[in-house]
Chains A and B, each alone.
Chain A
């Protein structure tokens, strides 16, 4: 009893904030999804019309779902794995490791407006740095962001550029792996790689799980880079759900439609996340 009240007291900031700043807008946006709403006049009820059009009469919607799923299921595991390996490397106590850590963290703090400009030029097929380097070794580089078959791959590669944030989280978690386990393993004759696989990885699974869930959630909200770099990409090859939602809401002024889109997105993300939670006990060790 006392515990109950105490618990609620502690989480009260979030509860209040949720009720005021999140729950109300949530409910409002659900209602909006059943209306036709342009900002100038009040919403008019249209029932399931938005959902119907979305699911049965909108090829761009399915393109966007496909693109987003591809991105989420490729870029996220890739990013998690890459960040983990990088964190292992950066955990070593060599001189100047602080400099390396800063270097790898650097892209994470570059503002999007600057990094997008930089990448547009670096990846320019005709005059960009990337293709200039490739030409030095005799390869004719692709058109990167301008080529529909390469644009998604390019964006995935660019997402790897910004893994510095996850690396920091992994590094913090790595420090918590007890030394005694490593000692015991070394006494048993395990080398560095074996120690990494059999001790570090299992102990880090909670952090990996966290980054995986966060990664999936953020992948479904992937917007800014696509907006600035490709604006939906050559022939909708990089049209992501969040981007399509933005267009429908603010360009075509169809906020009811956009709300319906958002809720389908939400259901999708929630299902995937739920699936992750249900199966995580099999591979995540809490100890």
Chain B
């Protein structure tokens, strides 16, 4: 919180500014929703129409084609894709967040030789474009016998994700050294310090990284497609592509499917945003 509550004038001003800024953010999405509820034939301009369907006064579809949503669900094996995606997401989030936290703690609070050069190396690995390591990595996975399985899509995140390591390290650095020292002096092992002191204090950054990893895996399209050959293992992102065919796409269904694709993440974010953004739990008095 920013101290005392803002005055009514400040509140109204904030609302006004936010609403104005929200319009360009929302408009494409409102349009997407509106398209998802239109019949295919209604989406594009017809001759003799005075108003282009892309104009504002045509945002409300009529008739409202609710069946687009049920049609989209039936057109692809939705539950299969959902199941595969959920499993991949959960596993990736757990592995990525935990492993990154461990590594980040090492870089943040432990001193060892070559710590700085190694950290710079970590950052540099983010800079190389993925396209070029794609083939050697693919060959590596193939040699290991993992081609055709979920493993190439999960195992790499068990070894830490550089982005999260960087972010968490920055966060861990802000935890007072005195606290950690006093815990060590009280006889706690480094692992206990990490698990019982640092981790609980870092819920916001852990949750943020979990969110980003979840999003990354939820939206990942190329990964499953390259490593998997059984359509029963494909994910929702692949399912979304199914609405595009050699002819272009069933746009109304694609928009409906996309809306459904976004919905769970949206709800998740809305319900849990306090966790990332809260900062430290303000139990107890202010210092």
Chain A contact residues, CB within 8 Å of chain B: 3-11, 13-18, 20-22, 24-26, 28-29, 32, 39, 86, 89-94, 98-115, 117-119, 121-122, 124, 127-129, 132-133, 136, 161, 165, 168-169, 171-172, 174-176, 178-180, 182-183, 186, 192, 206-207, 210, 213-214, 217, 220-221, 223, 241-242, 245-246, 249, 255, 258-259, 262-263, 265-266, 269-270, 273, 277, 286
Contacts and interface: CB of A to CB of B under 8 A. Distances in A.
Given A7-B115, A117-B249, A262-B131, 18 more contacts: A3-B112, A18-B159, A93-B6, A94-B11, A94-B14, A101-B277, A102-B273, A109-B265, A127-B54, A129-B28, A129-B55, A168-B211, A168-B276, A172-B276, A175-B279, A176-B174, A221-B130, A245-B132
Contacts of A266: 124, 127-129
Given A172-B279, A206-B170, A213 B123 contact: yes
B280 A175 contact: yes
Contact of A103 (B11, B22, B166): B22
B: interface residue count bin: 35 or more
17 contacts: A10-B103, A13-B160, A14-B103, A14-B165, A17-B159, A25-B137, A89-B21, A93-B2, A113-B254, A127-B52, A133-B56, A172-B279, A176-B174, A213-B123, A217-B126, A245-B131, A286-B173
Nearest to B268: A109
A110 B99 CA distance: 27
A239 B195 CA distance: 47
Contacts of A258: 131-132
A114 B254 contact: yes
Given A13-B99, A94-B6, A111-B261, A124 B54 contact: yes
B79 interface: no
B125 interface: yes
Nearest to A22: B125
Contacts of A172: 204-205, 208, 276-277, 279
Interface string B86-125: 0000000000000100110111001111010010111111
